A = this chain, B = another copy of it.
Amino acid sequence: MTETTLPYNLKFIVRDYECDLQGVVNNANYLHYLEHSRHEFLISKGISFFKLHEEGLDLIVTRVEIDYKYPLRSRDEFTVTVNIQREGNARILFIQDIFRLPDQKLILKAKVTGIATRKGRPVPPGDLIPKLGLGS
By a beta-carbon cutoff of 8 Å, the part of chain A in contact with chain B is 15-17, 19-23, 26-29, 31-32, 35-36, 39, 43, 48-50, 53, 58, 60-68, 71, 74-75, 120
Contacts and interface: CB of A to CB of B under 8 A. Distances in A.
Q: Give how many copies assemble into the complex.
A: 4
B27 A61 contact: yes
A20 B120 CA distance: 15
B16 A21 contact: yes
Chief secondary structure at chain A's binding surface: mixed
Contacts of A120: 71
27 contacts: A15-B32, A15-B39, A16-B21, A16-B36, A16-B50, A17-B20, A17-B28, A20-B21, A21-B23, A21-B53, A21-B74, A22-B53, A27-B31, A27-B35, A28-B31, A28-B35, A43-B75, A49-B74, A50-B74, A50-B75, A60-B71, A62-B67, A62-B68, A63-B68, A64-B65, A64-B66, A71-B120
